[in-house]
Amino acid sequence: MQVTSSVREPLVTGGKTVHDVTEDICRQVEGKPTKSWMLGMAISLATLGIGAYAVFMLLWEGIGVWGLNKTVGWAWDITNFVWWVGIGHAGTLISAILLLFRQKWRMSINRAAEAMTIFAVICAACFPGLHMGRLWVGFYWALPLPNTWGSLWVNFNSPLLWDVFAISTYFTVSLVFWYIGLIPDFASIRDRAKNKVSKAVYGALSFGWDGAAKTWMRYESVALILAGLATPLVLSVHTIVSFDFATSVIPGWHTTIFPPYFVAGAIFSGFAMVLTLMLVTRKLFKLEDYITINHIELMNIVIIITGSIVGIAYITEFFIAWYSGVDAEQYAFMNRAFGPYAWAYWSMMTCNVISPQLFWVKKIRTSIAATFILSIIVNIGMWFERFVIIVTSLHRDYLPSSWAMFYPTFYDVGVYLFTFGLFFTAFLLFAKFFPVINMAEVKSIIKSSSLKRNN
């Protein structure tokens, strides 16, 4: 028997029974798409279309169509890559780390957050691929394939190669974790299906799940071990992403603080994206009883914590640059804050350091409108963080004669739009055809955490 403290807020409100959970979640899957969903889909597909044109031109003409130059060889592409990977981190944090800590409030948000992870990692992976210019040779440039394919073995000393392994492992493990969780819910939809097609499709997707106690026992064991594996994995992924910069000798990048600072930043931006998505999903799908103000508040608290870690990291970085006494390092940081990209630096500081502090006020962190606006501001700030780190460290090269500025072209913006289109199209498809809340997990806490059953 599960006992939950009576002072704790119920995780599911509205006096839901186990059967209500099935009804509420399956209704979205079984019903016709709503007008707002169609509208969202149309906008996403239009964005995807514009983006696809930019991607096609990029592949056709080569990466010269981007605004990169001899000095600034990395700009929006890597900024967007790191930004998307970072967003993905919240999904794994919610589903794996909170599972290990037995935080039950994760249960109504983990499914959608994990879906977000998977789509965000796909979007992230587009950028290193496209940056190679020739996407189709990427496989044998990046994978250790035999020499007869045209290259020597890959360089295992390079953090860029570590990225290949980290991102692909992260994607695969997240996908498997997500799918294992979906199987019992697909079985619920299969058993309710009225027409042949959905019975066959969800039957295949459910892998013949029958809910046997023995399978549940194994399932729980698998979920726990996957969580145990995914936890160090997610920390390793952004650590390795930060190595792309930290192992170099570029002033502004060559910093040992990068791994923890990047991981905190990733969770920070990821939670902001989860909030942006969940606030909309909650409203459109009428899930207010499952994703309560309590959930929103808890996520906002994670944002305060990680946002403050990021803020401290910015200040520490600046302090260490001064304290190191290295001229180049000091110059890089002074140039960041007061040079030609000062506007980007101060946008980053405002969005990431100051704005999340507003959540200390209970009224703000329990307000849906304020949370929605701040969640978007945080992600704008996190995009600027990567832009600041990448571009300001590069644009003042070692020789003043090679100093340059970076100006994005239509194709820089277009490829970014492409990933937005891809992300939202995938998320909307997920929200329509897959159960957006993990029914089986939520059902298991109904008895201890629902209002009606407690009284």
Is 358 an interacting residue with respect to another protein (CB under 8 A)?
no
Straight-line distance from the first to the last Cα atom of the chain, in angstroms, rounded to the nearest whole number: 16
Print the binding letters for residues 281-310 with another protein: x by CB under 8 A, - otherwise.
------------------------------
Q: Is 30 in the site for another protein (CB under 8 A)?
A: no
Assess 4 for contact with another protein (CB under 8 A): no
Give the number of other CB atoms < 10 A from CB of residue 420. 18
| 212: contact with another protein by CB under 8 A | yes
Sequential DSSP letters for 402-447: G-------HHHHHHHHHHHHHHHHHHHHHHHHS-SS-HHHHHHHHH
Using CA atoms, how far residue 328 sits from 70, 396, 402, in Å, is 20, 10, 16
Per the CB < 8 A criterion, the answer to whether 299 and 105 are in contact is no
Applying CB under 8 A, the span of 15-23, 41-49, 276-284, 368-376 interacting with another protein comes to 15-23
Cα–Cα distance, 271 to 199 (Å, whole number):
35
Cα–Cα dist 85/221, whole Å:
28
Rounded Cα gap, residues 5 and 435, in angstroms:
29
The stretch near another protein (CB under 8 A) out of 126-134, 175-183, 388-396, 417-425 is: 175-183
- Contact in structure between 386 and 84 (CB atoms under 8 Å): no
Nearer to another protein, 205 or 313 (CB): 205
- Alpha carbon 157 to its chain centroid, in Å, reads 27
- For residue 450, the cross-strand partners are 12
Interface size with another protein, residues (CB under 8 A): 65
| 216 binds another protein, rule: CB under 8 A | yes
- Identify the bridge partners of residue 12 per DSSP, sorted by sequence position: 450
> Mask 89-128, x = binds another protein (CB under 8 A)?
----------------------------------------
Residue closer to another protein by CB (options 277, 436) is 436
The C-alpha atoms of residue 82 and residue 386 are separated, in whole angstroms, by: 7
CB of 154 to another protein, least distance (A): 8
Our finding on whether 325 is near another protein (CB under 8 A) is no
Q: Which amino acid is at 237?
A: V
Two structure tokens written together for 110: 């983990």
Tell whether residue 240 is a contact of another protein (CB under 8 A).
yes
Report the site for another protein in 192-211 (rule: CB under 8 A).
192, 203-205, 207-211
Contact criterion met (CB below 8 Å) for 27 and 445: no
Pick from 7, 31, 102, 153 the residue near another protein by CB under 8 A: 153
Q: Which residues contact 191 (CB under 8 A, 6 or more apart)?
A: none
| Least distance (Å) between residue 282 CB and another protein | 22
Q: Write down the least CB distance from residue 257 to another protein, Å.
A: 19
Rounded to a whole number of angstroms, the minimum distance from the CB of residue 212 to another protein is 5
Contact between 162 and another protein by CB under 8 A: the answer reads: yes
DSSP 450: B
Among 111, 190, 282, 295, binds another protein (CB under 8 A): 190
Between 67 and 138, whose beta carbon lies closer to another protein? Answer: 138
The answer to the question of residue 176 lying near another protein (CB under 8 A) is yes
Q: Which residues bind another protein (CB under 8 A)?
A: 1-2, 17-19, 22, 144, 147, 152-153, 155-157, 159, 161-162, 165-166, 168-169, 172-173, 176-177, 180, 183-184, 187-188, 190-192, 203-205, 207-222, 225-226, 229-230, 232-233, 236, 240, 243, 440-441, 443-444, 447
